[in-house]
Structure 1
Amino acid sequence: MNPQASTLWRGPRWTLAALLACLGTVGPFSIDTYLPAFSGIQASLGATPAAMQQTLSAYLFGFALMNLFHGALADSFGRRPVVLWGMGVFTLASLGCALSQTVGWLVFFRAMQGLSCGAGVVVSRAIIRDMFPPAEAQRVMSQVTIYFGVAPAVAPMVGGLLFVHLGWHAIFWFLVLVGAALWLINWRLLPETLDPAQRQSFHPRHLMAGYLQLGASPRFMALALASGIPFNGMFLYVLSAPVFLGELLHLQPTQFFWFFCISIGGIMAGAFLSGRLAGRIKPKHQIRHGFTIMLGVSVANVALNLLLPPHPAWALLPIGIFAFGWALMVPVVTLLVLDQAPDRRGMASSLQACVGSLANGLVAGVVAPLVMHSAIGLALTSLGMMLIGVVAWLWVKPRVT
């Protein structure tokens, strides 16, 4: 924690939390906003399905790749410059997407979006730990979790509305406005939170030593898996929503909002409770409660899908309960990840985000297309994602304080 933290931000602490939450949601929001317009973009640009898939793959690859470096840059040059450069490049890349006339240019500018927007996700987590002691950091991380979890559910609705009423270009013009607004707000308000005494050398040998130290730490990697993989147990359903809701549950598009309301409600309730419990119960106990909820509801979801045909009356609620359990535990696990490297929190946040984004990309590009047409396949895969997190946590639990 920065020893001057109390003097760096003069306004109410909740306003800083809101700013960091907005930074943290740029990545997931810009992934999903354009998904409802996939077919429209394909028809407009005369693209093949494979080429359109590259617009998503290029973004996810760039996001995962650059996530390895945003934190290291922030540890060396400060949090503020990395955020401003990241938001600036993201805004220009979004402008390029809006003006693209061929799928090749769209792929290029989507890759640039992915390379730049991870700065907000990675650096915002490091700033939280720079500015707040453990219990308060958990409360702020819980607020950020609400936005981070809500973004993948809200983004397709926003994108769908823009596409239907204004066309697919409007989606990327909207992201231009988002990026420009965040750049301006951070330029005016965001202080430099990295203590000068904690700045790290950007020499390649020093960087490689840091990456090797963290990457070779079983404790760090287990915590990164415990925080990053279970999210996909819920994210899988978001990615599969058109098929899951339309083909399997036979809901009309106007009824899809029930799924998003239940999922968002679970995230908000879990994150709210996580913040309320900060400093009142042991972090390990809170993590245990979250995983217990996710395990119980995942097993029940599999059993229901084996016994009953898919139906909205029961199929949506388990996803909301799963989201509640995830949001209850993930702020605590994320702080444990950052505290594994107190002198390199930016780098730790980078590696954590890289693990999560690689898992998201694998689920989006490979897993979801394979299982989205089967209700039991979705339930079993969701359970499997959660079990990876459970096993990682059970292994690392005795090894963390």
Structure 2
Amino acid sequence: MNLVHEGHIATPKGFYADGLHAGLKRMKKDIGLIYSEVPAQTAAVYTQNSFKGAPITVTQDSLASSAETQVLIVNSGNANTCTGKQGLADAYAMRLATAKKINVPEEYVTVASTGVIGVPLNMPLVLDGIAQLDEQLSNGKGFQEAILTTDKTIKDVCITIQLDGQRVTIAGAAKGSGMINPNMATLLGFITTDAAIEGAYLDKLLRQTIEASFNQITIDGDTSTNDMVLVMANGMAGNKPISAHHPEMTLFKEALLYVCTVLSKKVAEDGEGATKLIEVTVNGALHKEEARLIAKTVVGSNLVKAAFFGEDGNWGRIIDAVGYSGVPVNPDTVDISISDVAVLVQSEPVEVDEAAVLSPVLQQKEVSVVIDLHLGTETGTAWGCDLSYDYVKINAAYRT
């Protein structure tokens, strides 16, 4: 797959974006917009938390009315969750105000929010912010800044491929650094593409892609109330509509997975207080789902995360997590390596000079763990971060 890396969320043909400071947060940008010149096929997945933010209800309503949308309006600093009937009315008011400003049908507008739970939205600020947004700007950086909460950095990716001889661009932006343990979605993730694709197939591809990317990250084991991943495809690249029978379907599928994987890893790397990105790969499983489950169990273990923060190669915590993952394994055939240093072979400890060999690799910003079960041929990968003192400090004072 030949990928050209350039651009931002508004780079795909026909897309625009803007972001500004409306006052929901003290100083930083807090309201953003993505706009497509023409209606775009749209698919989304949402949190499985029983308590869902009001914006999710509104977005689900929009997509139930039409599989096509043109606009996403999003605010940070306030989740608009557990805010009762008024919160739902406020989310619908965001949709209506955006539709009127850009002159599109209400059902062509999707809504997202992120931030503190249980606090009513300051609607005068929100509506004033919507009025100031410019749908004709290519302000990708402004949009990406507007969706952040405790994130230290923006998380974006943009690639270009060739389909049917046409230049097709796929771009993504995400936010998330805490309350990350997705189930069918995660955090806030937005993807734009000028590819032409059948709506039902886009929905299927998104769900498949998320299983191998966003659903394979964990920071703290918490699933947010507002998690959403949404993709818009406006078809302006001019390729033949992608379907299951398109000869270059696999290329687009791989490109979409690449975009989602890059965003997922950036979220994991930017975990609240994180000092290391941890990648866990499980090989030799009987089933892909089992490999993914073990990988996510290991990377989600607080003991594993704390050990890596302390730069302690305690593989006992890794094998322990494999054992309680719920996946049947042969306790006599497991191999484990940490950043290419073998520590367990066929479930037998390997003598390692920790000070000379293991300690240096654990001081790196990225640490990899490879586990081989020697049971089958399937593999799975998950991403997370270490657990530092700063995670507790950040979340102890989240509302202050």
TM-score (norm 1): 0.27
Higher helix fraction: Structure 1 or Structure 2? 1
TM-score (norm 2): 0.27
